Chain A
Amino acid sequence: MKIRPTNTEIAEVNMTPMIDIVFQLITFFMVINNFDQNEADERVALPRDQLAKPPAVQRKDAFVLNFGFDRDKDGQKLSELPFLFFGDEKLSLEQVRPRLRQESQFYSAIGTSLEDVTVEIRADANVQSGLIQELIQMCQESGIEFQRFALKATQKSVP
């Protein structure tokens, strides 16, 4: 079989509109992506309240405590007691004390007054409130002494 020689002239496609749109898309995705919420742990299902508003001024010194349950893929709890998540690590409430002490010493070492440090507590909606109070109490123990706390919630109210 003989192949017919194709027309060797390159068809010129106008790329400009496509590139325009692709750049628009890139910009869109870059803006939508919020890089600063990296500390949020997906395992924590936050409670909802319509009055929870992000702070008007970005807090300079804040650290996040993720307090939630170990969940499987369907969102079912794997254990009755909640854990504190630090990346891949998970600690029970009793195990977190040295971690808090470390954090407190870190802020003292870099010369930040502990009065200016906010502890942001991202706790699961189903955690027992006594445990939250225990956690706050633990953050106030001597040697740790954090003073400012914020409780996180998602803004949307229950439909």
Chain B
Amino acid sequence: MKLRNRVGERKIDVNMTPMIDVVFQLLIFFMCTLKVIEPEGDFDISMPLGAPSAASVTEADLPPFKVRMEADAAGDLQTLFFNGTSLGGGAQALAKLNSEVFRAITALQAIGKEQQEKQEVEIDPDYNLHYRYIINAIGACSGRLGPNGVPVRYISRIKFAPRREP
């Protein structure tokens, strides 16, 4: 096949200026509206309606794990109790809570896998405790981060005890 000689073709001139104007406007718009937000996650809380005391009996009639959190005057975590056993205070206590929950979960798994799903944790904080410790305790109860960043789930049913008076 023979290609036609293209020598005679003329280059068509497109006026790029308006497009570039608009494109720059768009670029500036998106740059200005950029908000740096850290990714947000959440924890589900199971708080069924009805009197908290009446609803606290789980389907399997297992008592919920009780996490009692005592605060000092400044609102920081002073003592953490897991089912009545003191785990001390600070970040160390939360790490201990994590391993305690793991131990309890392993015992539950011996009975049956579904027991783990039914198990509840009841968090009972002092009124003035800072909310961040609640989140940390929920995090410690709900699992741990596996070696490759994949979370290992322990308990997903978390609820609050009736509020304590200040």
Contact = CB atoms under 8 A, between A and B. Distances in A.
B163 A130 contact: yes
Given A26-B23, A33-B33, A154 B160 contact: no
15 contacts: A15-B16, A22-B20, A26-B27, A50-B139, A51-B43, A52-B40, A125-B131, A128-B129, A129-B125, A132-B134, A148-B44, A150-B45, A151-B43, A153-B41, A154-B40
Interface of A: 15, 18-19, 22-23, 25-26, 29-30, 32-34, 37, 40, 46-55, 120, 122-130, 132-134, 136-137, 140, 145, 147-156
A133 B160 contact: yes
B25 to A, nearest CB: 10
Interface in B118-166: 125-136, 138-139, 142-145, 151, 160, 162-164, 166
Interface in B3-35: 16, 19-20, 23-24, 26-27, 30-31, 33-35
B104 interface: no
Given A51-B142, A137-B163, A145-B49, 15 more contacts: A19-B23, A22-B27, A29-B27, A30-B30, A37-B40, A49-B135, A52-B41, A126-B75, A130-B163, A133-B125, A149-B45, A150-B45, A151-B135, A151-B138, A153-B40
Contacts of B127: 128-130
A56 to B, nearest CB: 11
A128 B40 contact: no
B59 interface: no
